[in-house]
Amino acid sequence: MTSVTNNHYDIVIAGAGPAGLSFARALATSGLDIAVIEKSPEHILANPPQDGRDIALTHSSETIMKDLDIWAQIPKSSIGIIRHAQVLNGNSPYSLHFDHQDTDKDYLGHIIANDVIRKAAYDALSDFDNVDIICETEVTSVDTRASAASVTLSDDRVLHCSLVIAADSRFSTTRRKMGIAASMLDFGRVVIVCQMHHELPHNDTAYECFHYDKTLAVLPLPGNNSSIVLTLSAEHSQDVLKMDAETFNQDIAHRFDHRLGAMKLTSERHPYPLVAVYAKQFVTTRFALIGDAAVGMHPVTAHGFNLGLSGANTLAQEVRCALTHGEDIASASVLETYQSKHQRLSRPLYVGTNALVRLYTNDHLPARILRQAMLHLGNALPPVKRVIMDQLTKIETSST
């Protein structure tokens, strides 16, 4: 898949992360010629290292991944199930509960390690000769005009195409090169993620514990294992990263009130600075942003990849529709339809998530009262709970 003699493609995608690969897979059966440009070496795409992220997936994402044959590449033993969720506020014994029995499904969602998703997306492309993945190469410039586009690579090669896609992360250099501004919200916090084994079963329950300036999420993995997501100030994150494993084990078990008994670190601890990003526009002439390059979410509501996958799927459907009608796959109408659908879906989730983060990391009295009131309101009013449950489980595709 890496040796390339062709310099003409229909679509060139910058970035072979989960969004770029999913978009390529969504169009792999269309017959279009696609190049995916990735700066990492191919052996990393084929066997990505663990990066500590365990991705909570909605029912809609599961459906899309099944349609794209990505789900079939994932070993069953790597898939965790979320049947219940609890939101806890500070030291209050009161919590907001979500249960799959309140829905028409057997579970609220699944949880799968990011490296497993990345490998599955890569493997799902292995049979397509019309998709070239060009590794250890970067996009150095993009030129898009009314009639065609071209992309210059770091090895000086120039690829000609109809449509250029940026899927090169929330700090997308391709977005910047195209002059598309993005609003960035630096929370001044770091999230530390890792996996832990524990004494007691989690009963497929996901926990989100808000302790004012720190939050702890404990998400159920297969067996007596959980994904730990600890959010804290940059200063405190250094102390936590430097802790020896035994001290860390005790610290997390204590923060979690020993609900799962003794806990033991089973992976490295990975720090991620928390910066949310929303691009001012998702498209311009023969160019579109997808995945985190369009919308980079705070991970607390676990929407990032779910949204990225939904957006990639929507754009692929618009491209297919144009192809079926013999129209330009990168026309303004194709791109603007994608933009308006994906903005309509992502904007409320982005704004809502950022507001939630501010509320739950603010230790002032009015915020504490409002938090507690929200938990009671959420439990007492079925319609409020239903809205939150829908957000947890669905993320409708922006195409609907």
Ligand X SMILES: Cc1cc2nc3c(=O)[nH]c(=O)nc-3n(C[C@H](O)[C@H](O)[C@H](O)COP(=O)(O)OP(=O)(O)OC[C@H]3O[C@@H](n4cnc5c(N)ncnc54)[C@H](O)[C@@H]3O)c2cc1C
- Rounded to a whole number of angstroms, the minimum distance from the CB of residue 267 to ligand X is 13
Asked whether position 138 contacts ligand X by CB under 6 A, the answer is: yes
Residue (of 99, 103, 98, 94) closest to 375 by Cα position: 94
Asked whether position 193 contacts ligand X by CB under 6 A, the answer is: yes
- Rounded to a whole number of angstroms, the minimum distance from the CB of residue 297 to ligand X is 6
Radius of gyration of the chain (CA): 21
Asked whether position 56 contacts ligand X by CB under 6 A, the answer is: yes
Nearer to ligand X, 26 or 191 (CB): 191
**Per-residue mark of binding to ligand X, 94-123 (x: CB under 6 A):** --------------------x---------
Asked whether position 169 contacts ligand X by CB under 6 A, the answer is: yes
- Rounded to a whole number of angstroms, the minimum distance from the CB of residue 318 to ligand X is 18
Asked whether position 342 contacts ligand X by CB under 6 A, the answer is: no
Asked whether position 276 contacts ligand X by CB under 6 A, the answer is: no
- The correct pick among 281, 306, 339, 361 for binding ligand X (CB under 6 A) is 306
Nearer to ligand X, 88 or 217 (CB): 217
Asked whether position 53 contacts ligand X by CB under 6 A, the answer is: yes
Burial of 136 (C-beta count, 10 Å sphere; 0-12/13-18/19+): middle
Total residues contacting ligand X by CB under 6 A comes to 33
Token representation of residue 25: 């897979």
Q: Report the DSSP pairing between strands 205-211 and 214-221.
A: antiparallel
Alpha-carbon span 306 to 18, nearest angstrom: 10
SS3 assignment, position 163: strand
Query: 147-153: long-range contacts (C-beta < 8 A, 24 or more apart)?
Result: 148/286, 149/12, 149/285, 149/286, 149/287, 149/330, 151/12, 151/14, 151/37, 153/37
Nearer to ligand X, 54 or 318 (CB): 54
Alpha-carbon span 353 to 250, nearest angstrom: 30
- Rounded to a whole number of angstroms, the minimum distance from the CB of residue 15 to ligand X is 3
- Rounded to a whole number of angstroms, the minimum distance from the CB of residue 93 to ligand X is 27
Nearer to ligand X, 89 or 172 (CB): 172
What angle is formed at CA 149 by the lines to CA 146 and CA 154, rounded to 5 degrees? Answer: 155
Residue (of 154, 130, 125) closest to 142 by Cα position: 154
- The correct pick among 164, 230, 289, 302 for binding ligand X (CB under 6 A) is 302
Footprint on this chain of ligand X (rule: CB under 6 A)? 14-20, 37-40, 53, 55-56, 114, 138-139, 167-169, 173, 191, 193, 272, 291-292, 299, 302-306, 308
